[in-house]
Structure formats: structure tokens, C-alpha cells
Homo-oligomer: A and B are copies of this chain.
Amino acid sequence: MTPVGSRDDVGGASPLKGRRCLVLGAGGFIGTNLCRRLQANGAVVQAFGRSQPLPGALGGGDWMTGDFTDHAAVARAVEGNEVIFHLISGSLPESSNKDPIADLSGSVVQTLHLLDIARASGVRKVVFASSGGTVYGIPQQVPIPESAPTNPIAAYGIGKLAIEKYLGLYRHLYGLDYAVLRVANPFGPYQTGRRKQGVIAALARRALDGLPLEIWGTGEVVRDFIYVDDVVSALVASATHDGSHKVFNVGQGEGRSINQIIADLRAILSDRTLDVIYKPGRATDVPVNVLDIGLIYREMGWRPLTSWSDGLRATIEWIRKSAP
């Protein structure tokens, strides 16, 4: 089986060439990368989001500014598309616990509206970016297989899990196909480090700005970091996957602590002194999260193709050159 994890799917051979795809959350970090890849693959891309990404990030795709809660706008965006990539989250893991009701209303309820629109419009498949970092909660084993217990300690993860279940329901009731990708901690270009999402971008940004690095807790929490190019390849592959499995982990399958990341940043940015400020730990942080990525390899031939050090260097380079 030829791995599909890298840029092999760019160009004329892509199964999505000429296919009409909608990307919801296209202005975000993963969304921007996905739109660029889909366009390179020759797909007909409709991009939808609250705000445009960085100028020039999206090429010739069709952009629509809209809010996920505006159902008429969502319906116009969905119209005529065969595949929907749903990358919108209503909140962040940490903030979700401050107001679980807002998280539920903003993500799950709106996604149910989307599913009703999608089934009425004849959409073939919904590819949903779930959260490999939060749906499992505190793991009983690592790496974590898809069959592990799901006991989130963040409302954000409960919302993602509920959406996974509703996707299964709509397939059962209406034949609307779907794929769920439980994505670990993605990093890479177009993650600006300005928002509260993306620890690597945030650390690299502060390092480049000459500011002390801020981390929550002892820095010993372990995460599964995956380069965004590989995440995008999994999204593209799952759009045309046709097996009975519908829920897949997407990660590097390797764990790294925050302190290890800081050590690697120090090695790459050896001309700088990086101070670290340790802040109190967060109740939403599980101690460890590393995903078992065997299923998606067996089902789709996907595996991550970008090494940790290549990904980290490319991320730093991008932030240095491109982020405003």
C-alpha cells in the first residue's frame, strides 16, 4: 500500500479532482491548509468562515464570509457540494468548561442544523474534525485506540463526542455518509500563535519575539503533536474512504512533553536565551495523550510523513517570515 500521508495526492491523480467540496472554518489554521491542498488537488472549493485567513493564503477558491449560526448562509454554502469538511469549533477546551451550555449551543446544536441542511441538499459525505486530545479524557492506556473509553474532562470534548454520535445517527436514519477524524495536537504554518490555540506556535512566537515562554503546570504533560500537512492528507483521504469504520485517530503516534518541545526550540534557536514562566496547571489538561494510529493506516494507508524536527523547523520558519 502506498502511504498517502504526504503530498503524493497533489495534482491530477487526486480522487477529489473536479469534485465540489465545502470547507467550514476555512479561515482557521487547519481550514487554510486544507483549502490550499484541495485547490492544488483540483477540487472545486467553497470556503466558508467568520473571517478570511491571512491575505493571499487562499488562492482561487470561492470565499464566503458567514457565521455558523446563520443557517441561511450555511445552506447557501452547502448547496451543490458533494463533500463537507466540518472544522468549526464553538469554543476552546479551556473556555468550554467555564460555560458548557454555550459550548453545547455553539457547536453541537449548530452542527445538527448543518446535518439537516446537508441531508436535504443531497450531500454525500461529511468529514468532521473531532478532537483526539479531549474525547478520551484521562487515558487508561497509551497509545490510545479508537475503542478506548471516552470520558472527557473538558466540555469541548463532550461536544465533539456528541457530534460524532449524531453523525452516526444521521447515517443510520438518512444514509448521510461521514468520517470522524480524532485529530491530536496539530501544528504548522497558518497557526499564528496569536490566539490561545496551539502551544507550539505560541511558544515559537514568544521565543521569536524575545518574550519568556509561558506554560501551564510543570511542562511534563505529554501530547501527540502532528504536522498539519499530514492532518490535511488524512482529511483528504477520508473524504473518499469507503469502509465500515468511520472514526479514526490522526496523530503522530508519539508523545512529547512541553519541556521536550522547549528543549528542541532551544536547540534550533540556539542564538537566543529562552526563559520559562510556569503557570498553574489547568483542570482540562490530561497528563498524557498519545494516539494509536494503526486503524487509519490499515484502512486508508495513511501515516504521518513529516518528521518532528522537519515540522518544527518549518513551523518556526513560517512564523518568522509570514505571521504578522
Contacts and interface: CB of A to CB of B under 8 A. Distances in A.
Contacts of A97: 169, 173
Contact of A169 (B108, B154, B162): B154
A168 interface: yes
Interface string A269-298: 000000000000001000000000000000
A321 interface: no
A94 to B, nearest CB: 12
A169 B100 contact: yes
A267 interface: no
A172 B101 contact: no
A147 B147 CA distance: 10
A169 B152 contact: yes
Contacts of A161: 162, 165
A322 interface: no
A100 B174 CA distance: 14
Given A104-B109, A113-B101, A165 B158 contact: yes
A152 to B, nearest CB: 6
Interface string A50-71: 0000000000000000000000
A309 interface: no
A251 to B, nearest CB: 21
A18 interface: no
A101 B105 contact: no
A145 to B, nearest CB: 12
Contact of A151 (B104, B153, B165): B165
Interface string A249-273: 0000000000000000000000000
Contacts of A112: 100-101, 104
Interface string A102-126: 0011001100110000000000000
A60 B154 CA distance: 42
B152 A158 contact: no
A217 interface: no
Contacts of A173: 97, 153, 283
A168 to B, nearest CB: 5
Interface of A: 97, 100-101, 104-105, 108-109, 112-113, 137, 147, 149-155, 158, 161-162, 165-166, 168-169, 172-173, 283
Given A100-B169, A104-B112, A153-B168, 16 more contacts: A97-B169, A100-B112, A104-B104, A104-B108, A104-B109, A105-B109, A147-B149, A151-B165, A151-B168, A152-B165, A152-B168, A153-B172, A154-B169, A155-B166, A162-B162, A162-B165
